[in-house]
Structure 1
Amino acid sequence: MAPPRSLSIEHLRFLIGRNWWILAMAGAVLGCVGLAYSLLQTPMYLSTATLYVTSGSEPNTSSAYQGSLASQQRVASYAELIASDVILRDALDRSGLQMNADEARGALSTSSNPETVLLSISAKDRDPAVAAVLANSVADSMTAYVEQLEQPSESSEPLAKVTVVSPAIASQAPVAPRTTRNTLLAIVFGLGLGGLIATARERFDTRIRSGDEVQRSVASPVLAEIPTEGALDSRPVIDFAVGSSRAAEGYRRLRTNLAFVSVDQPPRCILVTSPGPGEGKTTTSLNLAAALAEDGNRVVLVDADLRRPSIARCLGLTGAVGLTNYLRGDGVISDFVQNGPVENLDVLVAGALPPNPAELLGSERAREGIEALRTGYEFVVVDTPPVLPVADAAILAQYVDGVLVVARATRTRSQDLSTAFDSLITANSTPLGVVLNDVSAHDSRYVYYSYEQSGAKPRTAGSASCDHRTNHEAKSSEHV
């Protein structure tokens, strides 16, 4: 069954809103091309002489009717005759114009109405006076030549004659180029071309932009859409106690929705990952932990990204000792936990980088450490490497209650998100849902519900923060 028309219109409006710049650019570029083409053309002027064709007849009704039919039949023949060499040479001789017969033939055109006996001769030239002279000269030549052609003998009257009823005059306005029409047609063509480009872009661009596209890619709920509100370069964790930005509301919604994923047994030990680098998992881990702590829960944030850790640097904590020290047996896991930047939030940083992170994370000691943290805290949030490049997240997923997958709007591709989910499910983990990061504020459902204090600058963890140090570092490591 076809979708309701209103849905189709809404979808069309959405596509136009997303790709309006393509339509505008294509229309503007081709419009400028059409305008430039028209301005570069030489103006051409058109002059037209009108001839009346009559046939000789007796003065009675029947003969007059027959004469009228004969005149109409002759009009078509005379229109062909105008382009003949004999007419053109005579017209050029009469006018004195400096052009040959081929040039004159190219400048001339004829038109007639089959139901009338009128024949129009038009001449086009860059000089309006030349156009008028050529049209009138051809009309005069036709008049003389038809009289000679249609006269059976010197003593008889011509069987037909041509009379000039409207001589050509020099036109004041050019007929070409039609600048306005050409420009408008070029713009319309550009908009059509832009529409084709936009359609192809939508067809072949698999980057996710909305929660609906997420749910078409994977059978998992979108727990939150985090809108873009500016970079948190100076403070990587949202201050939930000061105002309430759109991003803060997004993380609070994530906190709330996690409690409803499994009502009987809400997840308390949560692993956060993403399909690939640069999609927002670290910032999501930081701010989810902060949001949980804001609600009065004792929370520990674990940096289990033993390949490119960033939490210690983001929070300004000591990064020399941490999870890797525990995993190699240097002490109990609580010995390496540090106080975080938010009340009720503790942090276990990654520590020194090991040569074998996957083996360490898959060890029995790693499982025991996670269990120990689960016992000591109400919530454990574990930040891990992305799923697709390495197996670390899939290995750790067996020790937690569920996995939160972070996707980045306009960056994460639907096939990558689907493959990441398949990998996690194959590892017997429990995907909790998706957080769509860096959503445009215009597309975000939180745009109407911003409770920022007067003068407070909106910040987000959805677009930048500590994970976006430079473009080079963002490409070389997995951060927001």
Structure 2
Amino acid sequence: MVLRDYFNVLRKNWLIIIVSTLLLLGGAAAWTFTRTPQYEATTQLFVSVRSGDSSAGELTQGSAYAQQAVASYMEIADSAIVLDTVREELDLTESRRELAKRISADSPQGTVLINIRATDPDPQQAALISDTTSAVLAEVITDQLEGVSSESPARVQIDIVQPADVPDAPITPRVWLNLVLGLVGGLALGITIALFRNILDTKVRTPEDVTTLTDLPVIGRIGRNPESSSDPLVAFTDPMSPLSEPYRALRTNLRYMMVDGSLNRVVITSATSGDGKSTIAANLAIVMADAGARTLLIDGDLRKPNVAQLFGIEGGVGLSDLLIGSVTQEEVIQQWGPRDVYLLPAGRIPPNPSELLSSEAMKQLLTEVFAAYDYVIIDAPPALSVTDPAILSRLTAGALVVVSAGRTRKGDLTEALGSIARINGHVLGIIMNRIPKIGTGTYYGSVSE
């Protein structure tokens, strides 16, 4: 995937990205503003060794001893011998274990300093606990742990060099940090979901998806018509509607492809049933006739014919009957409406559709109608299930394959194109159908004449 492909993935999944971002940002905000602020105060101690000899060697030994002792003294800071005294002096009701969770000790590397830190929802109480713990720790070490006797002082001396200041800002929760993490995490989650959806998505949703599967051009982009079931012939019932404009754009694109007159006969098919190929064929025939062209629409789907039902005409006799010689063209081809739209319904469903469509009678029929009409459009069955579209594409200029956005599977489209190519059929291009509407009166990707 190139950068443009990633951008298209993010654009298609913008709602998921926004929702995940807002959810994590809201969660971070809710967690942050429901936490009790905690303040931290720090008291600093200095550890030294008393020595009667001020020689360099004695001072060096004393400093080394003090650095070694600091590590042990830090471990004592939250011990029972210290915290029980702190609880008693400050009249704290919490247990020693709970108090130990709020007290910590550390030492800058290579120094004889000890930092005693205490946290509390009350900033003044945090400073008081820190100072008291430091004083008790110093007393315990010098009087009990390092004291030689009551008459002689302890070898170690511990002094408070920096009493705790009352903190003016809490250390937790960190409001802006949490909100930024929620925002970034939400965006990352949304983008990850979008990319995984794209990897796992097997359906063709946009014209860009088509270009990743085939080099064939997308020559038509038809918007989704929510009333297609009740009003399929929108190019006739409402020719000025934005829903009709993409059919005229398709007509224009086909005309550019037909500059030498060789492409005035096309087959319209799809990968699977239900992609809207018959509706597109019907509306294309109408807009072709609107432009003054004598247009014939043949229902070449001899398995599940649909043209007669779309136009509301009698379809009991038609193409299948014509091919076996039981009727003539004049008896079965019907003019429809005030325009030059002519319809050849499928007729009775035969037991051998493929054989009829590849027969000499079919070739002769097409030769005659190609000469009699400006445009001939054949509505063929889905290419994935039968070979009829491939057969018909060889008898015409080629096939237009309809792809239903969000419905046609990528694998089905690839297999359908391959099935046509395997018997030397020809595909002219792709028509994207049912593209979701964006904005007012326009459709994604639609073009005007």
Partner Cα separation in structure 1 for residue 276 and residue 330 of structure 2: 27
Q: CA deviation at 1:100?
A: 4.1
Bigger Cα displacement from structure 2, 228-237 vs 327-336: 228-237
Q: What's the secondary structure of 2:302's corresponding residue?
A: coil
Answer yes or no: is the 8 Å Cα contact 1:298–1:345 preserved in 2.
yes
1:95 aligns with 90
Letter in 2 for 1:107: R
> Normalising by the residue count of structure 2, what TM-score does the alignment of the two structures yield?
0.82
2:177 aligns with 181
2:100 aligns with 105
Answer yes or no: is the 8 Å Cα contact 2:41–2:164 preserved in 1.
yes
Q: What's the secondary structure of 1:218's corresponding residue?
A: coil
**Alpha-carbon distance change, 237 to 334 in structure 1, aligned in 2, over 3 angstroms:** farther
1:53 aligns with 47
Q: CA deviation at 1:145?
A: 1.6
Asked if 1:350 is matched to 2:350, the reply is: no
Bigger Cα displacement from structure 2, 295-304 vs 250-259: 250-259
**Alpha-carbon distance change, 313 to 364 in structure 1, aligned in 2, over 3 angstroms:** same
The one of 417, 421, 424 equivalent to 1:425 is 421
Bigger Cα displacement from structure 2, 385-394 vs 268-277: 385-394
Letter in 1 for 2:138: T
The one of 261, 266, 270 equivalent to 2:262 is 266
2:25 aligns with 31
Provide Cα deviations, 1:303-353, integer angstroms capped at 9, x if missing partner. 222333333332233344433443454410231222223512111223454
Bigger Cα displacement from structure 2, 92-101 vs 269-278: 92-101
Provide Cα deviations, 1:333-380, integer angstroms capped at 9, x if missing partner. 231222223512111223454555445444444444333322321211
2:412 aligns with 416
Alignment of 1:48-447 (within 5 A): 48-56=42-50, 66=60, 74-114=69-109, 117-125=112-120, 131=126, 134-148=129-143, 149-168=145-164, 175-178=171-174, 180-228=176-224, 231=227, 233-234=230-231, 236-239=233-236, 243=240, 245=242, 248=245, 250-259=246-255, 261=257, 264=260, 266-327=262-323, 329-341=325-337, 343-354=339-350, 357-440=353-436
Bigger Cα displacement from structure 2, 132-141 vs 189-198: 132-141
Q: What's the secondary structure of 2:235's corresponding residue?
A: coil
Provide Cα deviations, 1:196-241, integer angstroms capped at 9, x if missing partner. 2222222232433444442432343332333447655536142599
Partner Cα separation in structure 2 for residue 283 and residue 64 of structure 1: 102
Letter in 1 for 2:86: A
Bigger Cα displacement from structure 2, 70-79 vs 421-430: 70-79
Answer yes or no: is the 8 Å Cα contact 1:43–1:174 preserved in 2.
yes
**Alpha-carbon distance change, 104 to 215 in structure 1, aligned in 2, over 3 angstroms:** closer
Letter in 1 for 2:10: I
Answer yes or no: is the 8 Å Cα contact 2:398–2:427 preserved in 1.
yes
1:20 aligns with 14
1:465 aligns with none
Structure 2 gap ranges (5+): none
Q: CA deviation at 1:152?
A: 4.3
Answer yes or no: is the 8 Å Cα contact 2:391–2:425 preserved in 1.
no
Bigger Cα displacement from structure 2, 189-198 vs 55-64: 55-64
Q: CA deviation at 1:300?
A: 0.7
Partner Cα separation in structure 2 for residue 296 and residue 82 of structure 1: 97
> Normalising by the residue count of structure 1, what TM-score does the alignment of the two structures yield?
0.77
Letter in 2 for 1:433: G
**Alpha-carbon distance change, 100 to 147 in structure 1, aligned in 2, over 3 angstroms:** same
**Alpha-carbon distance change, 58 to 314 in structure 1, aligned in 2, over 3 angstroms:** farther
Partner Cα separation in structure 1 for residue 173 and residue 40 of structure 2: 12
Answer yes or no: is the 8 Å Cα contact 1:322–1:351 preserved in 2.
yes
Q: Percent identity?
A: 32
Bigger Cα displacement from structure 2, 299-308 vs 53-62: 53-62
Q: What's the secondary structure of 1:207's corresponding residue?
A: coil
Q: CA deviation at 1:18?
A: 1.9
Answer yes or no: is the 8 Å Cα contact 1:407–1:435 preserved in 2.
yes
Letter in 2 for 1:106: K
Partner Cα separation in structure 2 for residue 144 and residue 200 of structure 1: 62
Letter in 2 for 1:27: T
Structure 1 gap ranges (5+): 452-480
Provide Cα deviations, 1:240-275, integer angstroms capped at 9, x if missing partner. 995584752x43443344345475551232111001
Bigger Cα displacement from structure 2, 272-281 vs 231-240: 231-240
Matched pairs, number = 443
Provide Cα deviations, 1:279-314, integer angstroms capped at 9, x if missing partner. 231122122222322332211111222333333332
Letter in 2 for 1:161: Q
**Alpha-carbon distance change, 114 to 294 in structure 1, aligned in 2, over 3 angstroms:** same
Partner Cα separation in structure 2 for residue 124 and residue 64 of structure 1: 39
